[in-house]
């Protein structure tokens, strides 16, 4: 059954090589076909779910970007425009002034602006924000929870595996389709329920 | 809504109680919403000064077109480098292409997504049915493999930014010797095995985590990774491409595939004239020297060798598998869920240590502990199976490597080792043979 060894056109070695090459090709193609069904052209991005977030502060330190790609995002529609803002002032603050010692934000990234008596508008200066979540915790504990942490996709480099996600204690990070890259909580209860439903 | 279902039916005649219960129920429902969703404590004010409420900005990420462009550039650079290596046989061309790839895939795309890391995306996709992976990850995994299957590892030569980076610093490459090469060459198999195990169990992407060069591409790395990258680049001056040869897990796959490549870079364009000029040209020890010892081996000795090999390979495979299965709890210790369960199972702390954030976060999530434990035991089972598979794989690799060291293959010419050769085309410049002037006579 031996192939003629001296025939350069076709010998045993070549036969095995061709067979193996074909099986490799089939294998690679098969694996690709198996996963291709579940692939998405636009890609996936990382995002954190504010409903799961416990504001541990690791977003500020674990991101590959410095400062972090996670920023505090203000959902104005949820804000109460409080004078005594739980996200702006430290809990023990006596006077409601913009003095540095009163501010919760360590980097002065929240701007407080008078709107009309007794309401104030709070704006996040994102280039300054380090994503520590101190204000988010304050707003969630004492206010409406309109300050929320989110991955900002204009800054995020979309690592294959997010380095914050692997250190997140509450498992709040997940991959989202790039066409719907944000998980902000909105004001109405119905919206919140749909946002909470698994398999959104 | 669950509370309504579990509420006990009322006795007849208790209309007042019914109403009371309803109020109570409503109260329960509202408090529940308050806890879970944080309903507005302070209603939105109705502004009289004509204040315009700003919109919450949601900046989009990278456009989809750019992901397609990445794949396009991958195909283009693979095609150009393969042409340069096989047709033009031009080292200079490969060098400039590798610089271009370093600029695009390295410094512009910042090393993500890369073919090496795509191993994990593919593995996770195969094992986790809920994981949706980007199409570009599949392309980055598949395309270099297919090109390698036909033309050798041209991807390593001029497309991979990691290889290009290390190629730039290999000023004074030294020969490592076959023994050191074989021993260190086992590390990529371990790395690949662990990467697949941790990706398959959804634990972590360790290739990306311990990626030494991504920090350089981003001009931003942790101290440990900076030291690692620095050490690799400095040792790369003397040991050419240390990551590619002794760490890269994708290199393992490319090595396998390249052994059966249809075409491959040849040192000489025509007939080798045994001039030995190329002998020291390869910085990666990837040129197989001619072995022409024609003393026929003693038949009984070769038979004994053959039997030994046939016994050693299954022995190492089983031994490796058993060792891997014994180590599965240690291997599983990397998994966050397993770690959390272990922390929760530890006896009540006597040392007044503060509770870890993980435990606090878990308690506040409202997930039952039993569910976590069930998930953990399932994970441990996966790690047990995975430990067996990983161990068997490594044992098999070890056995085959030993067998390779035991057998001699006779050959007459200087040829690149198809598995290890990066197709960088350095050796080509050393060959005096030209295609037109076939086999010049050495005098």
Residues of B in contact with A154 (CB under 8 A): 59-61
Q: Based on the domain organization, do B211 and B118 belong to the same domain?
A: yes
Measured in whole angstroms, the distance separating CA B278 from the mean position of its chain's CA atoms is 33
Q: Based on the domain organization, do A19 and A85 belong to the same domain?
A: no
Residue B400's pLDDT is: 94
Structure tokens at A36: 């291709």
Candidates A32, A62, A161, partner chain B, best to mutate (most B CBs within 10 A): A161
Beta strand pairing call for A44-48 and A173-177: antiparallel
Residue A7's pLDDT is: 58
Residue B387 belongs to domain spanning:
299-339+365-406
Q: Based on the domain organization, do A71 and A122 belong to the same domain?
A: yes
Kindly state whether residue B55 falls inside one of the protein's structural domains. no
Kindly state whether residue B6 falls inside one of the protein's structural domains. no
Q: Based on the domain organization, do B228 and B373 belong to the same domain?
A: no
Candidates B31, B37, B200, partner chain A, best to mutate (most A CBs within 10 A): B37
pLDDT in tens, B89-102: 999 999 999 999 99
Mean pLDDT of B207-219: 91
pLDDT in tens, A141-172: 888 899 999 999 999 988 889 999 989 999 99
Kindly state whether residue B209 falls inside one of the protein's structural domains. yes
d(Cα B130, Cα B121) in Å, to the nearest integer? 12
Kindly state whether residue B217 falls inside one of the protein's structural domains. yes
- In the DSSP assignment, the letter for residue B291 is B
Q: Based on the domain organization, do A9 and A76 belong to the same domain?
A: no
Q: Based on the domain organization, do B178 and B193 belong to the same domain?
A: yes
Residue B76's pLDDT is: 96
Q: Based on the domain organization, do B397 and B420 belong to the same domain?
A: no
Helix axes B115-127, B187-200, angle to 10 degrees: 40
Mean pLDDT of B212-216: 91
Mean pLDDT of B267-276: 88
pLDDT at B29 over 60: no
Element containing residue B406 per DSSP (H, E): helix B369-406
Tell me if A78 and B40 make a contact (CB, 8 A cut-off).
yes
Strands (E), B252-373: 287-288
Q: Based on the domain organization, do B195 and B114 belong to the same domain?
A: yes
Q: Would you say A158 and A46 are in contact if contact means Cβ atoms under 8 Å apart?
A: yes
Q: Based on the domain organization, do A91 and A179 belong to the same domain?
A: yes
Structure tokens at B390: 């990983």
Tell me if B142 and A78 make a contact (CB, 8 A cut-off).
no
Q: Based on the domain organization, do B250 and B333 belong to the same domain?
A: no
Q: Based on the domain organization, do A130 and A152 belong to the same domain?
A: yes
d(Cα B323, Cα B398) in Å, to the nearest integer? 14
B142 touches chain A (CB under 8 A): yes
Q: Based on the domain organization, do A27 and A102 belong to the same domain?
A: no
Structure tokens at A66: 């410095």
Q: Based on the domain organization, do A12 and A78 belong to the same domain?
A: no
B29 touches chain A (CB under 8 A): no
Q: Based on the domain organization, do A5 and A51 belong to the same domain?
A: no
List the one residue out of A187, A93, A190, A85 whose CA is nearest residue A141. Answer: A85
d(Cα A153, Cα A109) in Å, to the nearest integer? 19
d(Cα A48, Cα A162) in Å, to the nearest integer? 11
Average pLDDT along chain B: 87
Kindly state whether residue B15 falls inside one of the protein's structural domains. no
Residue A144 belongs to domain spanning:
44-196
Residue A200's pLDDT is: 34
Chain B: residue whose CA lies nearest to A156: B61
Q: Based on the domain organization, do B221 and B275 belong to the same domain?
A: yes
Q: Based on the domain organization, do B286 and B201 belong to the same domain?
A: yes
Chain A: residue whose CA lies nearest to B139: A32
pLDDT in tens, B163-180: 999 999 999 999 888 899
Q: Based on the domain organization, do A9 and A83 belong to the same domain?
A: no
Residue B150's pLDDT is: 94
Domain count of the fold of chain A = 2
Tell me if B138 and A36 make a contact (CB, 8 A cut-off).
yes
Q: Based on the domain organization, do B106 and B206 belong to the same domain?
A: yes
Kindly state whether residue B47 falls inside one of the protein's structural domains. no
List the one residue out of A65, A39, A41, A76 whose CA is nearest residue A151. Answer: A65
- Interface A-B, measured as beta-carbon pairs within 8 A, has a size of 195
B45 touches chain A (CB under 8 A): yes
Mean pLDDT of B412-433: 91
Q: Based on the domain organization, do A61 and A145 belong to the same domain?
A: yes
Residue A40's pLDDT is: 83
Q: Based on the domain organization, do A54 and A92 belong to the same domain?
A: yes
Tell me if A184 and B58 make a contact (CB, 8 A cut-off).
yes
Q: Would you say B340 and B372 are in contact if contact means Cβ atoms under 8 Å apart?
A: yes
Q: B53 CA to chain A: closest CA distance, Å?
A: 7
Mean pLDDT of B92-119: 92
List the 249-288 stretch of B: residues with Cβ below 8 A of A. 256-257, 260-262
Q: Would you say A79 and A122 are in contact if contact means Cβ atoms under 8 Å apart?
A: yes
What proportion of chain B, given as a percentage, has pLDDT over 90?
60
In order of A6, B6, B17, B24, B26, the CA distances from B14 in angstroms are: 102, 19, 5, 15, 18
pLDDT at B377 over 70: yes
Q: Based on the domain organization, do B257 and B317 belong to the same domain?
A: no
Kindly state whether residue B378 falls inside one of the protein's structural domains. yes
pLDDT in tens, A22-70: 999 999 999 999 898 888 877 889 999 999 999 999 999 999 888 999 9
In order of A185, B167, B177, B331, B360, the CA distances from B174 in angstroms are: 59, 14, 9, 36, 54
Q: Based on the domain organization, do B220 and B109 belong to the same domain?
A: yes
Angle (CA) B198 B204 B206, round 5°: 80
Q: Based on the domain organization, do B214 and B286 belong to the same domain?
A: yes
Q: Based on the domain organization, do A55 and A113 belong to the same domain?
A: yes
B112 touches chain A (CB under 8 A): yes
Residue of A40, A140, A170 with shortest CB distance to B134: A40
Domain count of the fold of chain B = 2
């Amino acid at each position: 059954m031996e192939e003629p060894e001296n025939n350069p056109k076709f010998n045993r070695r070549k036969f095995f090589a061709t067979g193996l090459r074909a099986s490799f090709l089939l294998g690679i193609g098969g694996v690709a076909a198996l996963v291709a069904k579940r692939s998405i052209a636009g890609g996936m991005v990382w995002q954190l779910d504010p409903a799961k977030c416990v504001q541990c502060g690791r977003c500020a330190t674990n991101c590959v970007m410095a400062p972090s790609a996670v920023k505090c995002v203000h959902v104005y529609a949820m804000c109460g425009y409080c004078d005594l803002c739980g996200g702006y002032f430290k809990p023990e603050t006596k006077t409601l002034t913009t003095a540095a010692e009163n501010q919760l934000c360590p980097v002065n990234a929240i701007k407080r602006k008078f709107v009309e008596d007794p309401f104030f508008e709070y704006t996040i200066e994102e280039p300054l924000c380090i994503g520590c979540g101190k204000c988010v915790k304050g707003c969630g504990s004492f206010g409406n929870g309109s300050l929320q942490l989110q991955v900002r996709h204009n800054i995020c480099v979309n690592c294959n595996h997010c380095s914050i996600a692997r250190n997140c204690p509450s498992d709040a990070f997940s991959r989202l389709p790039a066409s719907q890259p944000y998980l902000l909580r909105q004001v109405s209860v119905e919206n919140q329920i749909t946002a909470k439903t698994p398999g959104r | 809504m669950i509370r309504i279902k579990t509420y006990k039916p009322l006795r007849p005649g208790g209309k007042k109680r019914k109403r009371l219960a309803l109020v109570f129920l409503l109260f329960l429902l509202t408090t529940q919403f308050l806890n879970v969703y944080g309903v507005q404590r302070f209603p939105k004010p109705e502004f009289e000064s004509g204040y315009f409420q700003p919109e919450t900005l949601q900046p989009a990420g990278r456009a989809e077109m750019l992901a397609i462009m990445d794949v396009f550039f991958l195909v283009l650079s693979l095609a150009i480098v393969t042409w340069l290596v096989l047709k033009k046989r031009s080292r200079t061309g490969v060098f400039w292409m590798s610089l271009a790839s370093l600029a695009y895939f390295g410094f512009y795309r910042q090393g993500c997504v890369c073919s090496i890391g795509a191993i994990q995306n593919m593995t996770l996709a195969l094992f986790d049915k809920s994981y949706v992976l980007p199409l570009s990850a599949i392309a980055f995994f598949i395309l270099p493999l297919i090109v390698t299957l036909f033309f050798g590892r041209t991807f390593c030569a001029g497309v991979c930014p990691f290889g290009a980076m290390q190629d730039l610093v290999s000023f004074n490459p030294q020969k490592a010797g076959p023994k050191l090469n074989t021993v260190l060459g086992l590390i990529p198999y371990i790395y690949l095995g662990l990467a697949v195990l941790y990706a398959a169990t959804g634990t972590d992407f360790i290739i990306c985590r311990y990626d030494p060069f991504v920090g350089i591409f981003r001009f931003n790395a942790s101290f440990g990774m900076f030291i690692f990258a620095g050490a690799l680049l400095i040792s790369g001056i003397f040991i050419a491409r240390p990551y590619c040869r002794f760490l890269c897990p994708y290199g393992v796959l490319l090595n396998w595939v390249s052994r059966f490549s249809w075409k491959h870079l040849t040192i000489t364009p025509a007939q080798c004239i045994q001039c030995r000029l190329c002998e020291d040209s390869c910085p990666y020890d990837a040129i197989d020297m001619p072995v022409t010892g024609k003393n026929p081996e003693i038949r009984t000795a070769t038979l004994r060798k053959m039997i030994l090999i046939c016994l050693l390979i299954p022995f190492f495979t089983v031994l490796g598998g058993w060792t891997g299965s014994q180590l599965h709890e240690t291997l599983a210790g990397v998994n966050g869920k397993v770690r959390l369960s272990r922390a929760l199972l530890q006896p009540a702390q006597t040392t007044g240590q503060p509770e870890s954030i993980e435990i606090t976060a878990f308690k506040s999530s409202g997930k039952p502990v039993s569910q976590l434990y069930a998930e953990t035991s399932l994970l441990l089972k996966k790690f047990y199976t995975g430990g067996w598979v990983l161990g068997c794989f490594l044992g098999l690799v070890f056995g085959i490597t030993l067998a390779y060291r035991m057998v001699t293959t006779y050959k007459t010419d200087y040829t690149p080792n198809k598995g290890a050769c990066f197709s960088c085309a350095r050796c080509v410049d050393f060959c005096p043979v030209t295609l037109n002037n076939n086999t010049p006579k050495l005098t």
